[in-house]
Amino acid sequence: MKFDPAAGPFVLIAAVPAAVSAFLGPPWLSIALLALPLAILLFFRDPDRTAPQDATLILSPADGRVMYAGDGKPDEPPPGSWRQVTIFLSLFDVHINRTPAAGRVTRVEYIPGSFRAAFKPDAHANERSEIWIDHHGVPIVVRQVVGVLARRVVCRVKPGDVVAPGARIGLMKFGSRMDVFVPATATLTVTAGQAVVAGETVVARLAPGSIREGETTIVERTPVEIMPG
C-alpha cells in the first residue's frame, strides 16, 4: 500500500503522545496511542487504479458516494449548460483526487469561500479549487470543495499540464466534496446514493462525435497548498 507524502507532518504530530508515553507511561498506553497516527496514515492511502481508456467515458474524480447527479443546479455550475455529478467523501474514503478525463489543463482557479459541512446543500459556496480540462475539444470541469474538517486542498496540476484519464491531481484533507461538470449533451451513468471509485467508476458518457482523438500523458507536480483565508 502506498501513502501520499502529505501524510508526513500529520502522522508525526499524532505520534508525539505515543512517543512521550513510551518514556513516561505504561506500555499499554503507548500502544493504544499509536492508533491515532496509524488511522491518519490510512487516511492518506494511495492505491493504484486502472482507468478505462475509452475517450467517451468520464470517470469519477474521487472515492465516495454520489450526492447528486443531474442537470447543473442553480448557481453551482460554471456559466453555460452543464450536467453535474456531486460526490461526498467521508473520513473513511480514499482522498486522492484523479482526473475525470484525459486532456490539457487550461485553467486552475482558487476561489475563497465558507467552510460549511460538505454534505450541506449550500456547500458549493465553500472554499474550493476549480480545474478546467480540454478533453479533445470538450470542456470538463472538476472542483475540489473543502468542508468543515477539510480546510486544505492539495492541487498538483497547473495550466498547460497534459494528463491521462485517472491521473492523480491532488487530494483533500479530512472529509470533503468533489463536483464534476460535463456538457449538457453527455449522458450521466450514476445516480444519487451510488458509491464511486476515483479513476475507475464511469460517471458520464460523452455524446458520439463530440471529441477529437489525441494523445495524453500523465504529469504529476509538486504539491501546491490551497490555504484557507
Q: Which residues contact 83 (CB under 8 A, 6 or more apart)?
A: 70, 71, 72, 181, 182, 183, 184, 186, 188, 204
* Residues whose CB is less than 8 angstroms from the CB of residue 101 and which lie 6 or more positions away in sequence, other chains included: 55, 57, 58, 59, 133, 135, 138, 140, 165
Helix runs in 94-147, H state only: none
Q: Name residue, grid cell 518514556.
A: 23
Give the C-alpha separation, 38 to 15, whole Å. 9
Grid coordinates representing 27 are 506500555
Nearest residue to 199 via CA among 108, 133, 101, 104? 101
One-letter amino acid for residue 78 of the chain: P
CA-CA distance, 91 to 173, in Å (whole number)?
Answer: 9
Catalytic one among 21, 60, 129, 176?
A: 176
Q: Based on the residue annotation, tell me whether 176 is a catalytic residue of this protein.
A: yes
Helices 35-43 and 7-24: crossing angle in degrees, nearest 10, is 170
Task: Point out the residues that are catalytic.
Answer: 176
